Amino acid sequence: MNEEQHIVSGFDRDLEAIQAKVMKMGGLVEAAILDASKSLKNRDEELAEQVRNADQAIDELEDQINADCAQVLALRAPTAVDLRVVLSVMKIAANLERIGDYAKNMAKRTSVLVHMTPVEGARGGLRRMAREVQLMLKDVLDAYIQRDAELARDVLERDRDIDQMYNALFREFLTFMMEDPRYISPCMHLHFIAKNTERMGDHVTSIAEQVIYLVTGQMPEDTRPKATRIEAE
Amino acid sequence: MNEEQHIVSGFDRDLEAIQAKVMKMGGLVEAAILDASKSLKNRDEELAEQVRNADQAIDELEDQINADCAQVLALRAPTAVDLRVVLSVMKIAANLERIGDYAKNMAKRTSVLVHMTPVEGARGGLRRMAREVQLMLKDVLDAYIQRDAELARDVLERDRDIDQMYNALFREFLTFMMEDPRYISPCMHLHFIAKNTERMGDHVTSIAEQVIYLVTGQMPEDTRPKATRIEAE
């Protein structure tokens, strides 16, 4: 075994350890999305509280991943594809952290909403939307591990459904608010939850783009998600 | 001049070029914030359109900065402080890009709002808030260039004012909506603008934390802005 092979496999070992942390982080974020939307659906304050507390572990994992990546950059000085992978991992971790924040925010608003007039019918739609985002996240993490650009592209496509779900909910909330002023306050919160869930979808989309970039060496053509989707009304 | 000095100064030259792009990006983002809030205040659809179009240049600068940083990492293999600077620059550029997106979003909503019932009084508060965020951004970029942790800490402090301004606007919009159902739709948009402006403040805060990290080697103690402020109601 020559020196170069030794260096390469050292990098691979480091990367594997970092990727394990990314997967762990992804699992925690998926759970946060599901639990947050469940707490909203069932008006379960205790579960909402758990989601809020669980976010710290997600944040800490991101810090660890950043520190690990910095160390790999310093010690291994990767170039070309290896460098691209390390930079992608940092971006993916940042996206996961943001999704976790949005889940935490959903839980925080749930804690407020349980003390307000219930808006019947709206919470089911929000839960379906959150469920769909969680499935997209699951798939994009699989796509990352398997370096599967096709699956990542599929996730990109599905973000359109999320946008449509958001638009439908937006109109629904407006109708509720027009009908009865008592719905205005709760609907403001529900609307933010819908918007934040849509933003989770945008961050999943960003991860999908990172995967495509990683596998193919270039970003997918027709999108810059941050510039287009995040602000789609 | 020995080889090591040569390498170091090569890194410095590269970094200087990258930092120049960050400053240019910062200037464009500052202008976007000011123009977007001006277009909102004056119901100026044309200016709003300009802001929306100008966002592409901001996005492109971020792409360039990322590519330049990747190249520096690959060619110079920086370690210790130098590595920290490069990673910070990437994070700062990402934050600037997001702030630019929020400004673009404000402009997009302005284009919708000009066709709705004007909500008198609200737009002044939004403009003051945007102006304050723009000043914070200006200061944090100065703090970055001058490696001034004190100024960065001052920016951190000022983010509380932004949060207070947001909370006051939130209550104001609720009152409008309760008073007259015709205000519901425009107030939803104004509320999102307020929230997005508050989020711009969070991203300025993230930059301030990067500056503090860069100068002192550690993150400021009492905050993880993404975990706390971004979701402050």
Average pLDDT of the residues in A165-187: 93
pLDDT value at position B232?
A: 34
Whether the CB-CB separation of B15 and B72 falls below 8 Å is answered with yes
**Cβ–Cβ of A83/B104 closer than 8 Å?**
no
Q: pLDDT for A96-133, tens place per residue?
A: 999 999 999 999 999 999 999 998 877 789 999 999 99
Q: Which of B87, B105, B195 sits opposite A70 (nearest CB)?
A: B87
**Cβ–Cβ of A184/B195 closer than 8 Å?**
no
Least CA distance to A182: which residue of chain B? B178
**Cβ–Cβ of A101/B226 closer than 8 Å?**
yes
DSSP state of A218: S
Q: How confident is the model at residue A218 (pLDDT cuts 50, 70, 90)?
A: confident
Q: Is the dihedral of CA B37, B38, B40, B44 positive or negative?
A: negative
Residue type for position A18 = I
State the smallest CA–CA distance between residue B194 and chain A in angstroms: 12
Q: How confident is the model at residue B129 (pLDDT cuts 50, 70, 90)?
A: very high
Q: pLDDT for B77-126, tens place per residue?
A: 999 999 999 999 999 999 999 999 999 999 999 999 999 999 887 778 99
Q: Which of A73, A174, A185 sits opposite B83 (nearest CB)?
A: A73
Packing angle of the helix pair B122-146, B3-41 (nearest 10 deg): 170
Whether the CB-CB separation of A36 and A106 falls below 8 Å is answered with yes
**Cβ–Cβ of B101/A233 closer than 8 Å?**
no
**Cβ–Cβ of A73/B73 closer than 8 Å?**
yes
DSSP state of A219: -
Q: pLDDT for B4-45, tens place per residue?
A: 555 557 999 999 999 999 999 999 999 999 999 999 999 999
Measured between beta carbons, which residues in chain A are less than 8 angstroms from residue B94? 94
Q: How many CB pairs under 8 A join A and B?
A: 86
Disruptive mutation site among B104, B188, B196 for chain A (greatest number of A CBs within 10 Å): B188
Query: With a CB-CB cutoff of 8 Å, which residues 173-192 of chain A face chain B?
Result: 174, 177-178, 181, 184-185, 188, 191-192
State the smallest CA–CA distance between residue A77 and chain B in angstroms: 5
Closest listed residue to residue A44, CA positions, set A146, A52, B152, A122: A52
Q: pLDDT for A130-173, tens place per residue?
A: 999 999 999 999 999 999 999 999 999 999 999 999 999 999 99
pLDDT at B74 exceeding the cut of 80: yes
pLDDT value at position B153?
A: 97
Q: How confident is the model at residue A228 (pLDDT cuts 50, 70, 90)?
A: very low
Q: Which residue has the higher pLDDT, A65 or A228?
A: A65
Average pLDDT of the residues in B185-213: 95
**Cβ–Cβ of B184/A184 closer than 8 Å?**
yes
Q: Which CATH class is domain A3-228?
A: mainly alpha
The residue behind tokens 């007039």 is A117
Q: ∠ CA B4-B5-B8 to the nearest 5 degrees? A: 90
The CATH number of B3-231, from 1.20.58.220, 3.30.365.10, 1.10.1240.10, 1.20.1600.10, is 1.20.58.220
State the smallest CA–CA distance between residue B49 and chain A in angstroms: 15
Q: Measure Cα distances from B145 to B30, B71, B122, B148, B211 in Å.
A: 16, 21, 35, 8, 9
Query: With a CB-CB cutoff of 8 Å, which residues 113-172 of chain A face chain B?
Result: none
**DSSP letters for A54-120:** HHHHHHHHHHHHHHHHHHHHHHH---HHHHHHHHHHHHHHHHHHHHHHHHHHHHHHHHHHTTS---T
Under the phi-then-psi rule, with left for phi > 0, alpha for psi from -120 to 50, and beta for the rest, what region is A29? Answer: alpha
Kindly report the average pLDDT of chain B as a whole number: 90
**Cβ–Cβ of A231/B184 closer than 8 Å?**
no
pLDDT value at position A8?
A: 56
Least CA distance to A185: which residue of chain B? B174
Kindly report the average pLDDT of chain A as a whole number: 90
Would you kindly state where each structural domain of chain B is located, as residue ranges?
3-231
**Cβ–Cβ of A227/B101 closer than 8 Å?**
yes
Q: Measure Cα distances from B182 to A179, B119, B177, B179, B225 in Å.
A: 12, 10, 8, 9, 36
Measured between beta carbons, which residues in chain A are less than 8 angstroms from residue B28? none
Disruptive mutation site among A224, A229, A230 for chain B (greatest number of B CBs within 10 Å): A224
Q: Which of A78, A104, A184 sits opposite B231 (nearest CB)?
A: A104
Q: ∠ CA A129-B95-B168 to the nearest 5 degrees? A: 70
Q: Is residue A189 exposed (0-12), middle (13-18) or buried (19+ Cβ within 10 Å)? A: buried
pLDDT at B76 exceeding the cut of 80: yes
Distance, in Å, from the CA atom of A190 to the CA atom of A43, rounded to the nearest integer, reads 13
